Amino acid sequence: PGELSVRVRACGLNFADLLARQGLYERQPPPPYCPGMECAGTVSALGDGVRDRQVGDRVMVLARSGLWQEVVNVPAAQTWLIPEGMSFEEAAAFPVNYITAYMILFDFGNLRPNQSVLIHMAAGGVGTAAVQLCKTVENVTVFGTASASKHDALKESGVAHPIDYRTMDYAEEVRKVSPKGVDIVMDPLGGSDTSKAFHLLKPMGKLITYGVSNLITGQKKNLMAMAKTWWNQFSINALQLLHHNKAVCGYNLGNMDEEYELIGGVITKLMNLYKQGKIKPKIDSVWPFEQVADAMRQMQEKKNIGKVILVPEVPKEEAKKEEN
């Protein structure tokens, strides 16, 4: 009762899935389990009591895990109708990255005209969404970190100041342009980078931390990287905050799986922006399920510009029909 059965056409790959693979994601169920926090597909059956969906509806799905499958059963409340013109791949790229970027920038960050934002991993899924959302506000200056090969793409997307974090100190580069720092820092890195972010804030600035990608340094769990990130973790007390006139916020979409109304409200705002042509998911690459390891490597080695997508294989009967 209350559930839909969805035939899955595309799934999103997220950094949380990389952490989960290495046993570093605290919300992960005990193995064996199926990863996957978002997918898109077609409703194939309705459970009792479902009134606002029909068989054949195209939906996007958000869940704590379990969506990298050909067919999933999910509560109807965790699904949203896909707008006309949006592909299944785009819909699978939509929920996690855009909800995260929106809530960080607007709900926590209170982004307003004439402000400045530092976006780390600006060519990734959340980064791409955040850059697009910054452009919906007048005269926002975006600093974005990414490897040098991605800088042209970043400039085209709206990043005023791309910074190569591999060869430059991004804090120094920001201060060359904006000596006082920035109004908002989006921090998916953790460790010592969170401390750098705090010191880069202007008075009344906001740091929103939403990940610990510094934990991941290779294909296998790295105990040294974990220890270093933990040792360098930023810590501040309420009294110190009071003297700095700055805010520190923590965001984890995975801990909001019961907040249907809150998330639904954000999705509605995002859908309106999509329909107005102001935001559009950028797909980096699409991989069949059996190449999931290669898809993860693409993201882990930070080769992607935009979202990495997984798709179930085309069933053999359908493939034959298409050949005929």
List per-residue pLDDT tens for the chain, 324 residues long: 999 999 999 999 998 888 888 777 677 778 888 999 999 999 999 999 999 999 999 999 999 899 999 999 999 999 999 999 999 999 999 999 999 999 999 999 999 999 999 999 999 999 999 999 999 999 999 999 999 999 999 999 999 999 999 999 999 999 999 999 999 999 998 888 999 999 999 999 999 999 776 555 566 666 676 677 667 778 888 888 899 999 999 999 988 878 989 999 999 999 999 999 999 999 999 999 999 999 999 988 889 999 999 999 754 544 555 454
Domain membership of residue 316 (yes or no) is no
Domain membership of residue 104 (yes or no) is no
The string over 169-185, giving b where at least 16 C-beta atoms fall within 10 Å of a residue's C-beta and e elsewhere, is: ebeebbeeebeebbbbb
Q: How many structural domains compose the chain?
A: 2
Q: What is the pLDDT of residue 322?
A: 47
Residue count of the chain: 324
Q: What is the pLDDT of residue 290?
A: 94
Tokens 């019961």 correspond to 258
Map 21-71 to HEC letters: HCCCCCCCCCCCCCCCCEEEEEEEEECCCCCCCCCCCEEEEECCCCCCCCE
HSE-up (13 A, CA, CB side) for residue 71: 7
- 243: CATH: 3.40.50.720
State which residues form the domain around 135. 109-250
Domain membership of residue 101 (yes or no) is no
Indicate yes or no: pTM above 0.85: yes
Amino acid of residue 117: V
Kindly state whether residues 136 and 239 are assigned to the same domain.
yes
Kindly state whether residues 236 and 275 are assigned to the same domain.
no
Kindly state whether residues 238 and 120 are assigned to the same domain.
yes
- 281: CATH: 3.90.180.10
Domain membership of residue 319 (yes or no) is no
User: Cα(9)–Cα(300) distance, rounded to whole angstroms?
Assistant: 24
Kindly state whether residues 89 and 33 are assigned to the same domain.
yes
Kindly state whether residues 88 and 202 are assigned to the same domain.
no
Kindly state whether residues 232 and 302 are assigned to the same domain.
no
